[in-house]
Amino acid sequence: MSAQFEPITGRYLNMTLLGRPHRLYIEEAGRGIPLLCLHTAGSDGRQYRGLLNDSRITDNYRVIVFDMPWHGKSSPPEGYQNEEYRLTSRDYVQMILEIADALELDKPVVMGCSIGGRIVLYLAHQHAKRFRAIIGLETAAHVAPYYDVNWLHRGDVHGGEVSAGVVSGLVAPTAPDKERWETLWHYLMSGPGVFKGDLYFYKVDGDIRDKIDQIDGRSTPLYLLTGEYDYSCTSEGTLDVAERTGAEATIMKGLGHFPMSEDPPKFISYLLPVLEKIRGASS
Amino acid sequence: MIERIPDLVNADENLVRRGRHLSTTFMLGVGDQGYLVKIIEGRIVSITPGPFVTPNYSFALRAPKDEWEMFWEKIPKPGHNDIFALFKRGKLTIEGDLHPFMANLLYIKDVLAAPRKEANR
């Protein structure tokens, strides 16, 4: 195998985020309509490696992926050792808007998965006009807890191993082993308490059921793509959001909770028609 | 199915290595039938079917027989592919001392899924 660079640029951005200095890691590839991608809880931007490497997408879209603070190669803020990380809907929305502003993105498309698929509903509710279109992957308005998240961060259980163990079944059984274990690796190496802190948003603070009916999924087009094997954000949960918002929803066969990472080619076959529609509406 | 679990697990050296720090006995409930699964350092040393007089185990996982049968299909259908999927649908109970279960979750999940390796469909 000859050595070859991928067409991805990774850089660190120093900026004030939520009132504190932060050092964020951001990857991007391609040119055209900005497509800002949000990773899942306890993982990082590597989940979007398939999109960043696919010229069918990057010929027309500038794909931008940031690691949230505490995740991947983004650092936690100074003083992290003296606080407990807990993601809230308010901070998460603000983070996305501030990063989009810092990058001077003009009417980007925003696409998020899982917690990212939830927060895009907040964006659709509060800030729809700032976006060209909104794509939710594995979107549901609420997920009831189905295990005690305290297991994710304690001294006598390996946090990475238990996090990977918790999410492993959310990968479709048909996913290629290579991509399944790459997806799990991001969990295996996540920082202590980070997955748990993200789940505070996912399972407690980020319950948006009472606002779903106020979202207009047509004026800023809202697209929802959910894997049939996802038992966290279920197909029923997605279809309910679609019905109440006017969003266009597709249930993806042979995919689970991490579609862009567990089987990139299969996911991209579902994503391309959506991106074509958005591009058609923009031209 | 269940009686094949020891051979299938013990023949998989990577799986045994993943469970090398686990020695425990847990209860596997398949409908009304219970099985005590004894693990020593990642190897399954015995699976003992009930009835039991005073069963001694760390944690218990119980689901109806038809749920386990669907769980053990080669490529399970959505909602049947993982123990948490069963749990979320209210078909599986998890109880007892969960520390060995959670601390070795990837290992335990693969032990439970071992019969898929020999499933015909």
Closest CA to B92 of B60, B55, B49: B60
Residue B106 is nearest to which of A157, A161, A232, comparing CB atoms? A161
- Residue A161: CA count within 13 A, CB half-sphere: 17
For A156-211, how does the pLDDT look when each residue is reduced to its tens digit (9 = 90+)? Answer: 999 999 999 999 999 999 999 999 999 999 999 999 999 999 999 999 999 999 99
ipTM of the complex: 0.96
| Structure token pair of residue A116 | 């990212």
- Residue A58: CA count within 13 A, CB half-sphere: 19
**Residue A157 sits at the chain B interface (C-beta within 8 Å):** yes
- Whole-angstrom Cα distance, residue B112 to residue B17? 16
Strand partners, A25: A12
CB contacts of A169 in chain B (<8 Å) are 81-85, 109
Residues 110 to 149 of A: which have CB under 8 A from any B CB?
146-147
Work out the number of other CB atoms within 10 angstroms of the CB of residue B95: 11
Q: Measure in Å the smallest separation between the Cα of B10 and chain A Cα atoms.
A: 20
10 Å CB burial of residue A155 (0-12, 13-18, 19+) is exposed
Contact state of A170 with B75 under an 8 Å Cβ cutoff: no
* Tens-binned pLDDT, residue by residue, of chain A (283 aa): 799 999 999 999 999 999 999 999 999 999 999 999 999 999 999 999 999 999 999 999 999 999 999 999 999 999 999 999 999 999 999 999 999 999 999 999 999 999 999 999 999 999 999 999 999 999 999 998 888 999 999 999 999 999 999 999 999 999 999 999 999 999 999 999 999 999 999 999 999 999 999 999 999 999 999 999 999 999 999 999 999 999 999 999 999 999 999 999 999 999 999 999 999 998 7
- Whole-angstrom Cα distance, residue A175 to residue B81? 12
- Whole-angstrom Cα distance, residue A245 to residue A217? 5
- Whole-angstrom Cα distance, residue B56 to residue A64? 54
H helix count then E strand count, chain A: 10, 8
Contact state of A161 with B75 under an 8 Å Cβ cutoff: no
- Whole-angstrom Cα distance, residue A277 to residue A267? 16
Collapse the DSSP code of B59 into the 3-class scheme (helix H, G, I; strand E, B; otherwise coil) and give the result: strand
Q: Starting from the edge strand earliest in sequence, which strands make up the sheet with B24-30, in order?
A: B43-49, B33-40, B24-30, B59-63, B93-96
CB contacts of B106 in chain A (<8 Å) are 161, 164-165, 168
DSSP letter assigned to residue A205? I
- Whole-angstrom Cα distance, residue A62 to residue A58? 6
Strand partners, A222: A134
Q: Starting from the edge strand earliest in sequence, which strands make up the sheet with A248-252, in order?
A: A9-17, A20-29, A61-66, A33-38, A109-113, A133-137, A222-227, A248-252
Contact state of A158 with B103 under an 8 Å Cβ cutoff: yes
- Whole-angstrom Cα distance, residue A176 to residue A25? 28
Strands A109-113 and A33-38: parallel
Q: Residue B66 carries which side chain, given as an amino acid letter?
A: D
- Residue A35: CA count within 13 A, CB half-sphere: 28
**Residue B83 sits at the chain A interface (C-beta within 8 Å):** yes
- Whole-angstrom Cα distance, residue A160 to residue A155? 12
Preferred mutation among A143, A150, A158, A161 to probe B, highest tally of B CBs within 10 A: A161
pLDDT of residue A282: 81
Model pTM?
A: 0.97
Nearest CA in chain B to A255: B78
Q: Measure in Å the smallest separation between the Cα of B52 and chain A Cα atoms.
A: 29
Contact state of A231 with B98 under an 8 Å Cβ cutoff: no
- Whole-angstrom Cα distance, residue A64 to residue A70? 18
- Whole-angstrom Cα distance, residue B84 to residue A164? 13
Size of chain A, expressed as the number of residues it contains: 283
- Whole-angstrom Cα distance, residue A264 to residue A95? 26
Question: Average pLDDT of chain A?
Answer: 97
Q: Residue A94 carries which side chain, given as an amino acid letter?
A: Q
- Whole-angstrom Cα distance, residue B70 to residue A208? 34
